[in-house]
Amino acid sequence: MASEVDRTNPTGRPIAELVEELLVAGDPLPIVAAGHPVLRRGAEPYDGQLSPALLARFVEALRTTMHAAPGVGLAAPQVGVPLRIAVIEDPAPVPEEVRVARGRLPQPFRVLVNPSYEALGGERAAFFEGCLSVPGWQAVVARHARVRLRALDEHGTVVDEEFAGWPARIVQHETDHLDGVLYLDRAELRSLATNEAVSARWAQPTPERAAAELGFTLPGS
């Protein structure tokens, strides 16, 4: 029977070796696209596989890569490292009507180590969502409106926080990556559209118009 490490890291190489090799080329790191097996395997829980210095370098590389993409979150598997680490940060430079409709508030830079989430209440919210590993496309995804996040930070400090609105969406999206789940697995596929189409047709704060014209149902409809 294959071990957990064998299934999440089929190369058999030490995680530290993979990370060191990745960092040699410098920032930003190459982002793995959909179709790569690393995005479809549950990542290995972090348990000291990286020295403190190497972990700090890797976290900074993830942050630089997220900014360069640009994105509001990035998980280690997205750069080919099957480890349960993700980073999030959102300056939320959006118009007021979008901020209100989507609950999108600025989020500071955070490192999430071994994160998990649980829904708080039954409310769900649906909006167009994209992914750095599925470039050029967006689709409407219904997600929990409020979640409780449990994780550690890069220093081993316990994180136990509640998130709502867009920050809750980011937490769910990045944690899903660590479970081998892409946003398309949860999306309303009739809403799938190119970035150009979303910008030209569906840039409204909420996706009601897209649902009516593309023929899909939103939560609560």
- Interior CA angle at 111 toward 155 and 49, to 5°? 60
- Cβ contact 154:87 at 8 Å: no
Say whether 155 counts as a known binding-site residue. Answer: no
- According to DSSP, residue 83 is labeled B
Q: Is 177 annotated as a binding residue?
A: yes
> Does the annotation count 21 as an active-site position?
no
Residues 6+ apart with CB under 8 A from 216: 140, 188, 190, 191, 210
CA–chain centroid gap for 174, Å, is: 2
Which distant-in-sequence residues (6+ apart) come within 8 Å of 135 by Cβ?
33
d(CA 122, CA 126): 13
**Which of the following is catalytic: 174, 196, 208, 213?**
174
Between CA 12 and CA 19, with CA 14 as vertex, the angle to 5 degrees is 120
The answer to whether the annotation marks 131 as part of a ligand binding site is yes
Element (H, E) at 87: strand 85-90
**Binding residue positions:** 131, 173, 177
Residues taking part in catalysis = 174
**Binding residue positions for Fe cation:** 131, 173, 177
